[in-house]
Amino acid sequence: MEKWRRLLLVLVLFLAFFSARSQSFIGVNYGQVADNLPPPSATASLLQSTTISKLRLYGADPAIIRSLSGTNISLVLGVPNADIPSLASDPSAAASWAAANVLPYVPATSISLVAVGNEALDSGDAALASQLLPAMRNLGSAVAASGVKVSTVHTMTVLAHSEPPSSGAFRPELSADLTGILGFLRDTGSPFMINPYPFFAYRSDPRPETLAFCLFQPNPGRFDAGSKLMYTNMFDAQVDAVRSALDGLGFPGVEIVVAETGWPYRGDPDEVGTTVENARAFTGNLVAHLRSLVGTPLMPGRSVDTYIFALYDEDLKPGPASERFFGLYRADQTMNYDAGLVKSASSSYTSPSPPAATTGSTPPAATTGRCVPGATPHTSADGGPTQPEEQCHSPDAVGSRAAVGADRLFFLSVALTLLL
């Protein structure tokens, strides 16, 4: 009996310790279109106080890279779209970029990947799109010895179809470019990076039931007749639409990374859904969903690496007001809302209680787009969204999924108490 008591105690302590550790699949985007951001050292300290384990930059700021040395926070660096032509045409330019921005910092700073360009295939520049793969190849060769991967980031508008998820397919006019890029990703073991935003899907269809679906709140679900799967949230539907598109093009082995997703907590009067309550519900419930390890209906039992947009508000971002209010934190490092990311055993497996569906401003007339769910109506090269038998994958509500870890801890604690 004494042996079992000790075993249970070890399990309880292990779960408590694990719940406070960083989560390898949760990252955040660090946009810098602002004039009031804290120094890199302060940002490094802030990140270490959270369960965020990955940071994506839209460039390669040396001060930020150095500040994360020895922190075990993994970095994704970015190559601006403007640099793609030179990297594509000149391998020595790619070697110089790697020598300046990657090789001096590894392995002291963990750099996992370099994203060449941001949403370049949707830039409207055909020449840039054609130069993307050569640039990726040249940079891939330049960083190969360091173990750093190379990829690029896309918007959901690379899809021609995404609803239902089983019909996910890439736009025919992008097939040639994407086939080459995906071949490179497959051969190098690099991920396909995509920016799904349930917020934009809701903006295109601002009904209360759509809001609940986008916020991981209780809803009737959406049945996919093609796969016989039930979807209970927009995030899973968008990710699985991408999975279907990749499989359909012949690349089932290429993994998906969510490079951006988020929800603004403030916007212009005519921007529907931009409230603190909705932002907290989306981000908190997304974090809980990822921690549950439930996965998606097409990819159950594992969580996709996901980078939340964004770490800080960016006061100089152009466009509608919402563009400046995606931050988890203000520039003074106070939280805009609690998404359950602060390191603590009590908060790690819980999320903000899902509030009642809040629509914010008066919804505009619904619009249609090429790729709903998940259309990104506008993009920003400098980072961010300036943009029959039923097999049912339908856990009740994300709150109960998030409580899985806490429930296990509670159960073991009760068992230990009874045994003692």
Active site residue ranges: 119, 260
First to last CA, the chain: 10
DSSP calls for 259-314 = EEE---S---TTSBT--HHHHHHHHHHHHHHHHHT-B-SSSBTS---EEES-SB--
Give the torsion sign (CA, 393, 398, 402, 403): negative
Q: Which two tokens stand for residue 400?
A: 């109960």
Whole-Å CA distances, 205 to 181, 197, 230, 283, 385: 32, 13, 20, 20, 18
Task: Please state the length of the chain.
Answer: 420
Nearest to 117 by CA among 386, 387, 382: 382
d(CA 420, CA 418): 5
HSE-CB of 27 using CA atoms within 13 angstroms: 24
Alpha carbon dihedral 227, 232, 235, 241, in 10-degree steps, equals 10
HSE-CB of 56 using CA atoms within 13 angstroms: 33
Phi and psi at residue 360, in whole multiples of 5°?
70, -120
d(CA 283, CA 153): 21
